[in-house]
Structure 1
Amino acid sequence: MEVDEPRMTSEQIADLARRVRQPIALVGMMGVGKSSVGRKLAHALRLPFVDADEAIEQAAKMTIAEIFATYGEAYFRDGERRVIARLIEQDHDGRPYVIATGGGAFVNPETRRLILDRAIAVWLDSDVDTLVERVGRKDTRPLLRGGDPREILARLHAERAPCYAEAPIKVTSHNGPHSRTLDQVLKGIAAWL
Protein backbone atom coordinates (compact mmCIF):
# COMPACT_ATOMS: atom_id res chain seq x y z
CA MET A 1 0.00 0.00 0.00
CA GLU A 2 1.32 3.42 -0.96
CA VAL A 3 1.33 6.01 1.79
CA ASP A 4 1.46 9.66 0.78
CA GLU A 5 3.91 11.91 2.55
CA PRO A 6 2.29 14.76 4.45
CA ARG A 7 1.34 17.65 2.19
CA MET A 8 2.84 21.09 2.63
CA THR A 9 0.81 23.34 4.91
CA SER A 10 -0.56 26.68 3.73
CA GLU A 11 2.02 28.39 5.96
CA GLN A 12 4.86 26.44 4.32
CA ILE A 13 3.53 27.32 0.86
CA ALA A 14 3.22 31.01 1.80
CA ASP A 15 6.82 30.96 3.08
CA LEU A 16 7.96 29.32 -0.16
CA ALA A 17 6.08 31.93 -2.23
CA ARG A 18 8.02 34.69 -0.44
CA ARG A 19 11.32 32.96 -1.26
CA VAL A 20 10.70 32.47 -4.99
CA ARG A 21 12.53 35.30 -6.78
CA GLN A 22 13.05 33.83 -10.24
CA PRO A 23 10.79 32.25 -12.85
CA ILE A 24 9.85 28.60 -12.49
CA ALA A 25 10.08 26.66 -15.77
CA LEU A 26 8.35 23.31 -16.03
CA VAL A 27 10.05 21.07 -18.59
CA GLY A 28 9.27 17.59 -19.84
CA MET A 29 7.47 15.56 -22.47
CA MET A 30 4.21 16.53 -24.10
CA GLY A 31 1.30 15.24 -22.06
CA VAL A 32 3.19 15.12 -18.77
CA GLY A 33 1.00 17.85 -17.26
CA LYS A 34 3.20 20.94 -17.44
CA SER A 35 0.28 23.26 -18.20
CA SER A 36 -2.14 21.73 -15.69
CA VAL A 37 0.41 21.49 -12.89
CA GLY A 38 1.83 24.90 -13.85
CA ARG A 39 -1.54 26.60 -13.42
CA LYS A 40 -1.99 24.97 -10.01
CA LEU A 41 1.57 25.87 -9.01
CA ALA A 42 1.10 29.50 -10.02
CA HIS A 43 -2.16 29.65 -8.06
CA ALA A 44 -0.56 28.10 -4.96
CA LEU A 45 2.38 30.52 -5.06
CA ARG A 46 0.26 33.49 -6.18
CA LEU A 47 2.41 33.95 -9.27
CA PRO A 48 1.36 34.63 -12.86
CA PHE A 49 1.24 31.63 -15.20
CA VAL A 50 2.03 31.45 -18.89
CA ASP A 51 1.95 28.51 -21.27
CA ALA A 52 4.83 29.08 -23.71
CA ASP A 53 2.98 27.25 -26.50
CA GLU A 54 -0.01 29.58 -26.11
CA ALA A 55 2.31 32.62 -26.07
CA ILE A 56 3.93 31.40 -29.29
CA GLU A 57 0.54 30.92 -30.94
CA GLN A 58 -0.55 34.42 -29.90
CA ALA A 59 2.67 35.98 -31.20
CA ALA A 60 2.50 34.09 -34.51
CA LYS A 61 -1.29 34.30 -34.85
CA MET A 62 -1.11 30.63 -35.88
CA THR A 63 -1.46 27.31 -34.10
CA ILE A 64 1.66 25.30 -33.44
CA ALA A 65 0.47 22.71 -35.95
CA GLU A 66 0.13 25.47 -38.56
CA ILE A 67 3.61 26.80 -37.75
CA PHE A 68 5.09 23.31 -38.14
CA ALA A 69 3.21 22.73 -41.41
CA THR A 70 4.06 26.13 -42.91
CA TYR A 71 7.59 26.80 -41.67
CA GLY A 72 8.91 23.56 -40.15
CA GLU A 73 10.17 22.53 -36.75
CA ALA A 74 13.44 24.53 -36.86
CA TYR A 75 11.52 27.78 -37.38
CA PHE A 76 9.16 26.88 -34.53
CA ARG A 77 12.05 26.06 -32.15
CA ASP A 78 13.71 29.41 -32.89
CA GLY A 79 10.48 31.26 -32.10
CA GLU A 80 9.99 29.14 -29.01
CA ARG A 81 13.48 30.05 -27.77
CA ARG A 82 12.80 33.76 -28.25
CA VAL A 83 9.43 33.62 -26.47
CA ILE A 84 10.83 31.70 -23.50
CA ALA A 85 13.76 34.14 -23.26
CA ARG A 86 11.31 37.04 -23.16
CA LEU A 87 9.20 35.36 -20.47
CA ILE A 88 12.24 34.62 -18.33
CA GLU A 89 13.61 38.15 -18.65
CA GLN A 90 10.37 39.96 -17.86
CA ASP A 91 8.12 39.78 -14.86
CA HIS A 92 4.50 40.58 -14.09
CA ASP A 93 4.23 43.48 -11.65
CA GLY A 94 7.49 42.41 -10.02
CA ARG A 95 6.53 38.76 -9.76
CA PRO A 96 8.26 36.03 -11.79
CA TYR A 97 6.26 33.76 -14.06
CA VAL A 98 5.53 30.08 -13.76
CA ILE A 99 6.21 28.92 -17.32
CA ALA A 100 4.99 25.69 -18.90
CA THR A 101 7.46 25.08 -21.72
CA GLY A 102 6.86 23.03 -24.83
CA GLY A 103 8.08 19.43 -24.79
CA GLY A 104 11.06 20.13 -27.03
CA ALA A 105 12.06 23.51 -25.62
CA PHE A 106 14.59 22.21 -23.08
CA VAL A 107 16.28 20.11 -25.77
CA ASN A 108 17.49 23.30 -27.48
CA PRO A 109 20.92 24.00 -25.92
CA GLU A 110 20.41 27.80 -25.86
CA THR A 111 16.96 27.53 -24.29
CA ARG A 112 18.17 24.94 -21.78
CA ARG A 113 21.15 27.11 -20.74
CA LEU A 114 18.90 30.16 -20.34
CA ILE A 115 16.43 28.23 -18.18
CA LEU A 116 19.17 26.65 -16.06
CA ASP A 117 20.92 30.00 -15.56
CA ARG A 118 17.90 32.25 -14.98
CA ALA A 119 15.00 30.10 -13.74
CA ILE A 120 14.11 27.25 -11.43
CA ALA A 121 13.89 24.26 -13.78
CA VAL A 122 11.53 21.46 -12.79
CA TRP A 123 11.44 18.27 -14.87
CA LEU A 124 8.03 16.65 -14.82
CA ASP A 125 8.53 13.05 -15.93
CA SER A 126 6.07 10.26 -16.60
CA ASP A 127 6.03 6.77 -18.02
CA VAL A 128 5.22 6.35 -21.71
CA ASP A 129 1.86 4.63 -21.05
CA THR A 130 0.62 7.65 -19.10
CA LEU A 131 1.86 10.00 -21.83
CA VAL A 132 0.10 7.97 -24.54
CA GLU A 133 -3.16 8.05 -22.59
CA ARG A 134 -2.95 11.80 -22.03
CA VAL A 135 -1.90 12.91 -25.52
CA GLY A 136 -4.45 10.58 -27.09
CA ARG A 137 -7.09 13.04 -25.93
CA LYS A 138 -5.84 15.67 -28.42
CA ASP A 139 -4.95 15.54 -32.10
CA THR A 140 -3.02 18.82 -32.05
CA ARG A 141 0.48 17.37 -31.57
CA PRO A 142 2.48 17.82 -34.80
CA LEU A 143 5.27 15.45 -33.75
CA LEU A 144 2.79 12.58 -33.30
CA ARG A 145 1.39 12.75 -36.81
CA GLY A 146 2.48 10.11 -39.27
CA GLY A 147 3.30 7.30 -36.90
CA ASP A 148 2.39 5.24 -33.88
CA PRO A 149 2.10 7.63 -30.90
CA ARG A 150 3.49 5.06 -28.45
CA GLU A 151 6.60 4.45 -30.58
CA ILE A 152 7.13 8.17 -31.20
CA LEU A 153 6.69 9.06 -27.52
CA ALA A 154 9.02 6.27 -26.40
CA ARG A 155 11.68 7.43 -28.88
CA LEU A 156 11.31 11.10 -27.95
CA HIS A 157 11.42 10.27 -24.24
CA ALA A 158 14.63 8.27 -24.68
CA GLU A 159 16.22 11.02 -26.79
CA ARG A 160 15.20 13.90 -24.55
CA ALA A 161 15.65 12.38 -21.07
CA PRO A 162 19.38 13.25 -20.88
CA CYS A 163 18.53 16.91 -21.53
CA TYR A 164 15.62 16.95 -19.08
CA ALA A 165 17.88 15.31 -16.47
CA GLU A 166 19.92 18.53 -16.33
CA ALA A 167 17.02 20.17 -14.46
CA PRO A 168 17.88 20.30 -10.76
CA ILE A 169 14.39 19.22 -9.68
CA LYS A 170 12.67 16.08 -10.96
CA VAL A 171 9.11 15.07 -10.12
CA THR A 172 7.31 12.03 -11.49
CA SER A 173 3.76 12.74 -12.65
CA HIS A 174 1.54 9.72 -12.16
CA ASN A 175 -1.92 8.98 -13.45
CA GLY A 176 -3.45 10.39 -10.30
CA PRO A 177 -4.67 13.83 -9.34
CA HIS A 178 -2.40 16.71 -10.30
CA SER A 179 -2.61 17.91 -6.68
CA ARG A 180 -0.24 15.09 -5.71
CA THR A 181 2.24 16.15 -8.41
CA LEU A 182 1.84 19.78 -7.35
CA ASP A 183 2.76 18.93 -3.77
CA GLN A 184 5.90 17.13 -4.94
CA VAL A 185 6.86 20.12 -7.12
CA LEU A 186 6.39 22.50 -4.18
CA LYS A 187 8.55 20.28 -1.96
CA GLY A 188 11.20 20.02 -4.66
CA ILE A 189 11.38 23.79 -5.08
CA ALA A 190 11.47 24.32 -1.30
CA ALA A 191 14.36 21.88 -0.95
CA TRP A 192 16.24 23.47 -3.88
CA LEU A 193 15.96 27.09 -2.67
Structure 2
Amino acid sequence: MIGPMGAGKTSVGKRVARALDVPFFDTDAAISREHGPIDQIFADRGEAQFRALERAAVVEGLATGGVVSLGGGAVLDADTQSDLAQHRVVLLTVAPRVVAIRVRGSSRPLLQGDEDPLERWTRIYEQRRPVYERLANASFDTSNGPLQNVVDRIVAWTRGDDDQGVA
Protein backbone atom coordinates (compact mmCIF):
# COMPACT_ATOMS: atom_id res chain seq x y z
CA MET A 1 0.00 0.00 0.00
CA ILE A 2 1.27 3.40 -0.99
CA GLY A 3 -0.10 6.90 -0.66
CA PRO A 4 0.23 10.19 1.15
CA MET A 5 0.47 10.78 4.88
CA GLY A 6 -2.90 10.34 6.54
CA ALA A 7 -4.47 8.22 3.79
CA GLY A 8 -4.96 5.29 6.16
CA LYS A 9 -2.32 2.88 4.87
CA THR A 10 -1.71 1.36 8.30
CA SER A 11 -5.35 1.16 9.38
CA VAL A 12 -6.59 -0.19 6.06
CA GLY A 13 -3.54 -2.42 5.57
CA LYS A 14 -4.01 -4.19 8.91
CA ARG A 15 -7.66 -4.88 8.14
CA VAL A 16 -6.95 -6.09 4.60
CA ALA A 17 -4.24 -8.43 5.86
CA ARG A 18 -6.59 -9.82 8.51
CA ALA A 19 -9.36 -10.34 5.94
CA LEU A 20 -6.97 -12.11 3.56
CA ASP A 21 -5.32 -14.05 6.42
CA VAL A 22 -1.83 -12.87 5.43
CA PRO A 23 0.92 -11.09 7.36
CA PHE A 24 0.95 -7.30 7.72
CA PHE A 25 4.14 -5.24 7.66
CA ASP A 26 4.34 -1.49 8.20
CA THR A 27 7.65 0.10 7.20
CA ASP A 28 7.26 3.06 9.56
CA ALA A 29 6.47 0.77 12.51
CA ALA A 30 9.48 -1.42 11.67
CA ILE A 31 11.77 1.61 11.59
CA SER A 32 10.41 2.86 14.92
CA ARG A 33 10.84 -0.56 16.54
CA GLU A 34 14.46 -0.83 15.42
CA HIS A 35 15.66 2.77 15.57
CA GLY A 36 13.27 4.84 17.68
CA PRO A 37 10.65 7.45 16.83
CA ILE A 38 10.73 8.70 13.25
CA ASP A 39 10.60 12.36 14.28
CA GLN A 40 13.68 11.75 16.44
CA ILE A 41 15.52 10.04 13.56
CA PHE A 42 14.81 13.08 11.36
CA ALA A 43 15.98 15.45 14.11
CA ASP A 44 19.14 13.53 15.06
CA ARG A 45 20.26 11.97 11.80
CA GLY A 46 18.43 13.83 9.03
CA GLU A 47 16.11 12.80 6.25
CA ALA A 48 18.80 11.05 4.17
CA GLN A 49 19.57 8.61 7.00
CA PHE A 50 15.85 8.04 7.56
CA ARG A 51 15.39 7.24 3.86
CA ALA A 52 18.20 4.66 4.04
CA LEU A 53 16.49 3.01 7.01
CA GLU A 54 13.19 3.19 5.15
CA ARG A 55 14.67 1.48 2.10
CA ALA A 56 15.91 -1.40 4.28
CA ALA A 57 12.45 -1.68 5.86
CA VAL A 58 10.82 -1.82 2.41
CA VAL A 59 13.12 -4.67 1.37
CA GLU A 60 12.31 -6.53 4.59
CA GLY A 61 8.58 -5.94 4.25
CA LEU A 62 8.35 -7.05 0.64
CA ALA A 63 10.27 -10.21 1.53
CA THR A 64 7.64 -11.15 4.14
CA GLY A 65 4.80 -11.29 1.64
CA GLY A 66 1.31 -10.31 2.64
CA VAL A 67 0.24 -6.69 2.92
CA VAL A 68 2.99 -4.08 3.22
CA SER A 69 2.27 -0.47 4.12
CA LEU A 70 4.96 1.92 2.89
CA GLY A 71 5.67 5.32 4.35
CA GLY A 72 4.48 8.16 2.13
CA GLY A 73 7.94 9.00 0.79
CA ALA A 74 9.25 5.46 0.33
CA VAL A 75 8.19 5.49 -3.32
CA LEU A 76 10.72 8.21 -4.11
CA ASP A 77 13.54 5.64 -4.02
CA ALA A 78 14.33 4.25 -7.49
CA ASP A 79 15.11 0.78 -6.13
CA THR A 80 11.80 0.72 -4.27
CA GLN A 81 10.03 1.71 -7.47
CA SER A 82 11.70 -1.20 -9.27
CA ASP A 83 10.80 -3.59 -6.47
CA LEU A 84 7.16 -2.50 -6.50
CA ALA A 85 6.91 -3.33 -10.20
CA GLN A 86 7.02 -6.98 -9.12
CA HIS A 87 4.02 -6.60 -6.76
CA ARG A 88 0.38 -5.60 -6.83
CA VAL A 89 0.29 -2.03 -5.57
CA VAL A 90 -2.70 -0.28 -4.03
CA LEU A 91 -2.74 3.50 -3.85
CA LEU A 92 -4.80 4.99 -1.04
CA THR A 93 -5.86 8.59 -1.58
CA VAL A 94 -7.55 11.06 0.72
CA ALA A 95 -9.05 14.52 0.33
CA PRO A 96 -7.19 17.40 1.99
CA ARG A 97 -10.28 18.26 4.10
CA VAL A 98 -10.12 14.77 5.63
CA VAL A 99 -6.36 14.61 6.05
CA ALA A 100 -6.46 17.90 7.96
CA ILE A 101 -8.36 16.08 10.72
CA ARG A 102 -6.23 12.93 10.56
CA VAL A 103 -2.85 14.65 10.90
CA ARG A 104 -3.87 17.41 13.33
CA GLY A 105 -1.38 17.56 16.20
CA SER A 106 0.84 15.05 14.43
CA SER A 107 4.57 14.80 15.04
CA ARG A 108 5.18 13.85 11.39
CA PRO A 109 8.54 15.44 10.58
CA LEU A 110 7.63 16.65 7.10
CA LEU A 111 4.66 18.59 8.51
CA GLN A 112 6.72 20.51 11.08
CA GLY A 113 7.91 24.08 10.66
CA ASP A 114 6.38 27.48 10.08
CA GLU A 115 4.30 26.56 7.02
CA ASP A 116 0.67 25.55 7.51
CA PRO A 117 0.71 21.73 7.82
CA LEU A 118 -2.18 21.26 5.37
CA GLU A 119 -0.51 23.46 2.77
CA ARG A 120 2.73 21.52 3.24
CA TRP A 121 0.86 18.18 2.99
CA THR A 122 -0.85 19.33 -0.22
CA ARG A 123 2.45 20.40 -1.78
CA ILE A 124 4.16 17.11 -0.84
CA TYR A 125 1.21 15.10 -2.15
CA GLU A 126 1.14 16.97 -5.46
CA GLN A 127 4.90 16.39 -5.90
CA ARG A 128 4.57 12.65 -5.21
CA ARG A 129 1.25 12.03 -6.91
CA PRO A 130 2.61 11.21 -10.39
CA VAL A 131 4.88 8.56 -8.84
CA TYR A 132 2.02 7.10 -6.78
CA GLU A 133 -0.23 6.92 -9.83
CA ARG A 134 2.46 5.39 -12.04
CA LEU A 135 3.23 2.65 -9.51
CA ALA A 136 -0.34 1.77 -8.56
CA ASN A 137 -2.34 -1.09 -10.03
CA ALA A 138 -5.48 0.16 -8.30
CA SER A 139 -6.54 3.25 -6.38
CA PHE A 140 -9.01 3.57 -3.52
CA ASP A 141 -10.09 6.79 -1.81
CA THR A 142 -10.43 6.75 1.98
CA SER A 143 -12.14 10.13 2.32
CA ASN A 144 -15.76 9.02 2.72
CA GLY A 145 -17.64 6.40 4.64
CA PRO A 146 -16.28 3.82 7.00
CA LEU A 147 -12.77 2.51 6.28
CA GLN A 148 -14.27 -0.98 6.30
CA ASN A 149 -15.92 -0.18 2.96
CA VAL A 150 -12.48 0.54 1.49
CA VAL A 151 -11.13 -2.65 3.05
CA ASP A 152 -13.94 -4.68 1.51
CA ARG A 153 -13.31 -3.16 -1.94
CA ILE A 154 -9.57 -3.85 -1.73
CA VAL A 155 -10.16 -7.44 -0.62
CA ALA A 156 -12.62 -7.95 -3.50
CA TRP A 157 -10.11 -6.43 -5.95
CA THR A 158 -7.32 -8.62 -4.58
CA ARG A 159 -9.45 -11.74 -5.00
CA GLY A 160 -10.47 -10.71 -8.51
CA ASP A 161 -14.08 -9.98 -7.60
CA ASP A 162 -13.79 -6.29 -8.50
CA ASP A 163 -12.45 -5.34 -11.92
CA GLN A 164 -12.62 -1.60 -11.36
CA GLY A 165 -9.86 -1.09 -8.81
CA VAL A 166 -11.02 2.46 -8.28
CA ALA A 167 -13.16 3.67 -5.43
TM-score, normalised via structure 2 length = 0.89
Is this contact kept in 2: 1:107–1:164, CA < 8 A?
Answer: no
Question: Is residue 2–residue 69 contact of structure 2 (8 Å, CA) maintained in 1?
Answer: yes
1:84 alignment partner AA: V
* Structure 1 segments of 4+ aligned residues over 4 angstroms from their partners: none
Query: 1:133 offset after TM fit, Å?
Result: 1.3
- Aligned pairs (5 A) from 1:2-21: none
Residue identity in the other structure for 2:149 = R
- What is residue 99 of structure 1 aligned with on the other side? 68
Q: Which whole-Å CA distance do the structure 2 matches of 1:44 and 1:174 have between them?
A: 21
Which residue does the alignment assign to 2:16? 41
1:160 aligns with 2:128: yes
| Per-residue CA distance 1:143-186 (angstroms, 9 max, x = gap) | 00012011111101110100000211111112321111112212
Q: 1:77 aligns with which of 51, 60, 76?
A: 51
Deviates more, 1:180-189 or 1:150-159: 180-189
SS in 1 for 2:5: coil
**1:27/1:106 contact within 8 Å kept:** yes
| Displacement of 1:139 | 2.1
Which SS does the other structure have where 1:65 is aligned? Answer: helix
Q: 1:41, 1:182 within 8 Å by CA — same for their partners in 2?
A: yes
Q: Is this contact kept in 1: 2:91–2:133, CA < 8 A?
A: yes
In 1, Cα distance between the equivalents of 2:42 and 2:4?
18
The equivalent of 1:169 in structure 2 is 138
**Is 1:150 aligned to residue 118 of structure 2?**
yes
How many residues align? The count is 159
Query: What do residues 19-38 of structure 1 show as CA deviations (whole Å, max 9, x unaligned)?
Result: xxxxxxx1001110000001
2-side partners of 1:109 and 1:132: how far apart? 29
Structure 1 residue 113 corresponds to structure 2 residue 82: yes
| Structure 2 counterpart of 1:140 | 107
| Deviation readout 1:3-49 (Å, 9 max, x if unpaired) | xxxxxxxxxxxxxxxxxxxxxxx100111000000110011001111
Secondary structure, counterpart of 1:99 in structure 2: strand
Gaps of 5+ in 2: none
CA distance in 2 between counterparts of 1:72 and 1:64 reads: 10
Query: Where does residue 53 of structure 1 map in the other structure?
Result: 28
Cα offset, 1:189, TM superposition: 2.3
Gaps of 5+ in 1: 1-25
* Larger CA Rg, structure 1 vs 2: 1
Q: Percent identity?
A: 35
